């Protein structure tokens, strides 16, 4: 079909040119004998003017009809600054109606007021909106940059099976029944973890894949049951080699997409330090408000609340917020107290304010003058400062203050005004986490993660304090990547299975093929996976994960457009040897 350029590409410099355009009708207005139509394609909108010689041939044309127009680009008498093509318009000389359209059920515009469920039902119309098209194009570009950058570093893109064996990421598997072997099931991979490690054993040395992953989890706001990872694995590496690859990739992506120069090397912090300083394993470093341990000041205190906490191995922690005392009334401070009691099971929130050189607050009468003076010095408290204090079990005190840190930074509007990306490597995560339900230790990352070399002897004696060689990359308070240096020694792998309560028979049954592979000269290796959707969300400034997926499910894990999941024919069930036994 003839088409000389994209509608949104025309500029004043094109005035006088003859063009042929194709596009959807965004909007039609009649002015006496003249008809004005904004014609839209992927590149944008342009105004086309039809005079009386053509108005009859387009008399039926409405929104979303597709037209092919030939005409001349003309400078507008009055430019429209709201349109990128606003300095010109196209005077039509010939028009062909390529297709008609029923009245669309949603308004196709970025300021559409349609409910999200309606937009998802008609996603193909929703996708015509410029903002969604832009996001999909950004997603495409990120994939292209990823391929180019990783290729330049010697990585090879390899596809791994979608019909696979259950993988160990800890979520619920999506299962696919086998027709040939009734009663047996495939699992859709939660990640290509086992396959990418097998590729290292297979001698590929540097692998990557833009991989689809499937996890049958309850949906949270930022999750989809199917999602994509930039999945990478490398042989003969330690953390430094892995981090260098990620840093180079992030530099390329942020430069090409945002024109933003990220640091050459990202800050590193152990998990332990992160928790102590920020009360979170994914701290937002765009603002300060670090947690300070003030226990020492109260070592000999008479204040019984602090005394009791400190005597039972608890912690007294504080965060100072500058220029905040006058912004937090008693009522607001009570709300903060409720917030941490309710969400973090913290017992109480204590607070102090410095106003006109005078310290006031909930504990001011309970602590001594010397303690007050020591606090003022340690936290460098000055006028209009607000100090929030939590005395509790270490983890409770830190996480509660970590959450208050985030909340107050937002309430006080303390995030940088200009675009800022603060990357952080979090390392040395705990190897295990306690599973209340099953009353046993679980691998915190996955069971192929190597323990820290010095901690190996404590695998069985003190699992709580064994740290691993797992790492996360955090960006502005969100986890963007996780990965680890892997175990490559069969004995060690067996030990780790044992320490999470998996007998060798169970391990053999689940991962026997994998353990077998370890026998034949497994190279030391490590890798990571970047959550593609979250990365695109940051790059496009949206907090809705469905915006960055072409055909997402809604937040009840339903595809409203195709009405899936759905029932299947009895014949299909019969062939698979299945019968339905509904839970409810
Ligand atoms: N497979 C891991 C995940 O999906 C990432 C990795 O360890 O490479 O989180």
Domains and their CATH numbers in the chain: 7-99 (2.40.50.140), 110-266+524-584 (3.30.930.10), 288-411 (3.30.1360.30)
Is the separation of the CB atoms in 206 and 149 below 8 Å?
no
Q: Treating both helix axes as pointing N-terminal to C-terminal, what angle do 394-411 and 271-278 enclose, rounded to 10 degrees? A: 60
Is the separation of the CB atoms in 231 and 249 below 8 Å?
no
User: What pLDDT does 420 receive?
Assistant: 97
Distance CA 576, CA 181 (A): 8
Ligand 1, atom 1, lies closest to the CA of: 193
Ligand 1, atom 9, lies closest to the CA of: 482
In testing the pocket of ligand 1, which one of 483, 487, 514, 533 has its CB within 8 Å of the most ligand atoms? 483
Name the nearest CA neighbour of 192 among 448, 433, 501.
448
Q: Is the peptide bond before 565 cis (omega within 30 degrees of 0)?
A: yes
Distance CA 570, CA 582 (A): 15
User: What pLDDT does 502 receive?
Assistant: 86
For residue 128, the SS3 value is coil
Q: Which atom of ligand 1 is nearest to the CA of 449?
A: 7
Per run of 10 residues, the mean pLDDT along the chain (length 584 residues) is: 96 98 97 95 97 94 98 97 97 98 94 91 97 97 98 98 84 94 95 96 98 88 89 98 98 98 97 97 97 96 95 97 96 97 95 95 94 96 98 96 98 97 97 87 91 88 93 97 96 89 86 90 98 97 95 93 96 96 86
Distance CA 460, CA 574 (A): 48
Structure tokens at 281: 């394993």
Distance CA 44, CA 408 (A): 41
Distance CA 473, CA 530 (A): 9
E strand map for 509-559: 525-531
In testing the pocket of ligand 1, which one of 208, 211, 482, 526 has its CB within 8 Å of the most ligand atoms? 482
Name the nearest CA neighbour of 464 among 474, 449, 451.
451
Distance from Cα 341 to the centre of ligand 1, integer Å: 33
Exposed e or buried b for every residue in 386-406, given b needs 16+ CB within 10 A? bbbbbbbbeebbbbbbbbbbb
Cα–Cα separations (whole angstroms), residue 310 to 51, 304, 346, 484: 85, 10, 15, 36
Q: Strand 88-99 vs strand 44-50: parallel, antiparallel, or unpaired? A: parallel
Phi, psi angles (nearest 5°) of residue 359: -90, 130
Answer yes or no: pTM beyond 0.85.
Answer: yes
Cα–Cα separations (whole angstroms), residue 100 to 58, 85, 559: 11, 25, 27
The greatest distance separating any two alpha carbons of the chain, rounded to the nearest whole angstrom, comes to 95
Ligand 1, atom 4, lies closest to the CA of: 191
Place of tokens 């323990």: 451
User: What pLDDT does 218 receive?
Assistant: 81
Distance CA 419, CA 253 (A): 15
For residue 459, the SS3 value is coil
Q: Strand 206-214 vs strand 156-157: parallel, antiparallel, or unpaired? A: parallel
User: What pLDDT does 325 receive?
Assistant: 97
Phi, psi angles (nearest 5°) of residue 366: -85, -15
**CB half-sphere exposure, 49, CA atoms < 13 A:** 14
For residue 155, the SS3 value is coil
Ligand 1, atom 3, lies closest to the CA of: 529
In testing the pocket of ligand 1, which one of 213, 446, 485 has its CB within 8 Å of the most ligand atoms? 446
Classify residue 559 by its DSSP letter: B
The gap from C-alpha 533 to its chain's centroid, in whole angstroms, comes to 6
Task: Count Cβ atoms below 10 Å from residue 212 Cβ, excluding itself.
Answer: 16
- Return all residues near 294 (Cβ < 8 A) that are at least 6 apart: 316, 317, 318, 375, 378, 379, 389
Distance from Cα 200 to the centre of ligand 1, integer Å: 15
Distance from Cα 52 to the centre of ligand 1, integer Å: 64
For residue 1, the SS3 value is coil
Q: How many residues does the chain have?
A: 584
User: What pLDDT does 368 receive?
Assistant: 95
Q: Which residues line ligand 1 (CB under 6 A)?
A: 169, 191, 193, 482-484, 527-529
E strand map for 446-491: 470-475, 478-485
User: What pLDDT does 171 receive?
Assistant: 87
In testing the pocket of ligand 1, which one of 188, 190, 193 has its CB within 8 Å of the most ligand atoms? 193
Distance from Cα 515 to the centre of ligand 1, integer Å: 18
Structure tokens at 229: 């990872």
Distance from Cα 573 to the centre of ligand 1, integer Å: 34
């Amino acid at each position: 079909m003839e088409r000389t350029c994209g509608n949104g590409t025309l500029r004043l410099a094109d005035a006088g040119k003859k063009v042929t355009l194709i596009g959807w009708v965004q909007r039609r207005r009649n002015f006496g004998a003249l008809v004005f139509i904004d014609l839209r394609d992927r590149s944008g909108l342009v105004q086309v003017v039809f005079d009386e010689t053509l108005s009859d041939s387009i008399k039926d044309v409405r929104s979303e009809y597709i037209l092919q127009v030939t005409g001349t680009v003309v400078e507008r008498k009055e430019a429209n600054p709201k349109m990128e093509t606003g300095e010109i318009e196209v005077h039509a000389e010939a028009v062909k109606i390529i297709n008609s359209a029923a009245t669309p059920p949603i308004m196709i515009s970025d300021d559409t007021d349609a409910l999200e469920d309606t937009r998802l039902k008609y996603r193909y119309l929703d996708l015509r909106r410029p903002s969604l098209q832009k996001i999909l194009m950004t997603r495409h570009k990120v994939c292209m940059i990823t391929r180019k950058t990783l290729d330049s570093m010697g990585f090879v893109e390899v596809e791994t099976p979608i019909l696979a064996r259950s993988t160990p990421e800890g979520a619920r598997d999506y299962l696919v029944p086998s027709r040939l072997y009734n009663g047996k099931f495939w699992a859709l991979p939660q990640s290509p973890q086992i396959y990418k490690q097998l590729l290292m054993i297979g001698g590929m040395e540097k692998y990557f894949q833009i991989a689809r992953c499937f996890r049958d989890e309850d949906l949270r706001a930022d999750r989809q049951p199917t999602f994509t990872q930039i999945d990478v694995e490398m042989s003969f590496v330690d953390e430094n080699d892995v981090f260098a690859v990620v840093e180079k990739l992030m530099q390329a992506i942020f430069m090409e997409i945002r024109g933003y120069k990220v640091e050459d090397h990202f800050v590193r912090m152990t998990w332990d330090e992160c928790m102590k300083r920020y009360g979170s394993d994914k701290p937002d470093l765009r603002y300060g408000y670090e947690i300070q341990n003030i226990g020492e000041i109260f070592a000999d205190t008479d204040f019984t609340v602090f005394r009791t906490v400190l005597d039972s191995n608890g912690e007294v922690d504080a965060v100072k917020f500058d220029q905040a005392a006058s912004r937090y009334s008693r009522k607001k401070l009570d709300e903060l107290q409720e917030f941490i009691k309710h969400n973090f099971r913290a017992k109480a929130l204590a607070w102090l304010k410095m106003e006109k050189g005078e310290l006031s607050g909930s504990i001011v009468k309970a602590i001594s003058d010397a303690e007050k003076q020591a606090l003022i010095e340690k936290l460098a408290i000055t006028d209009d400062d607000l100090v929030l204090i939590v005395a509790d079990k270490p983890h409770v005190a830190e996480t509660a203050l970590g959450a208050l840190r985030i909340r107050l930074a937002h309430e006080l509007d303390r995030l940088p005004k200009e675009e800022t990306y603060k990357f952080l490597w979090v390392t040395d995560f705990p190897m295990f986490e306690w599973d209340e339900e099953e009353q046993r230790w679980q691998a915190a990352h996955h069971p192929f993660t190597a323990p820290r070399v010095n901690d190996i002897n404590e695998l069985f004696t003190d699992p709580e304090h064994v740290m691993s060689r797992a790492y996360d990359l955090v960006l502005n308070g969100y986890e963007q990547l996780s990965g680890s240096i892997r175990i490559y020694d069969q004995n060690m792998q067996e030990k780790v299975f044992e320490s999470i309560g998996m007998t060798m028979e169970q391990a053999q049954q689940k991962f026997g093929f994998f353990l077998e592979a370890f026998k034949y000269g497994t190279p030391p290796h490590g890798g990571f996976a970047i959550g593609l959707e979250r990365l695109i969300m940051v790059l496009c400034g949206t907090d809705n994960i469905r915006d960055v997926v072409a055909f997402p499910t809604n937040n009840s894990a339903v595809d409203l457009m195709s009405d899936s999941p759905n029932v299947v024919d009895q014949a299909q069930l019969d062939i698979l040897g299945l019968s339905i036994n509904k839970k409810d």
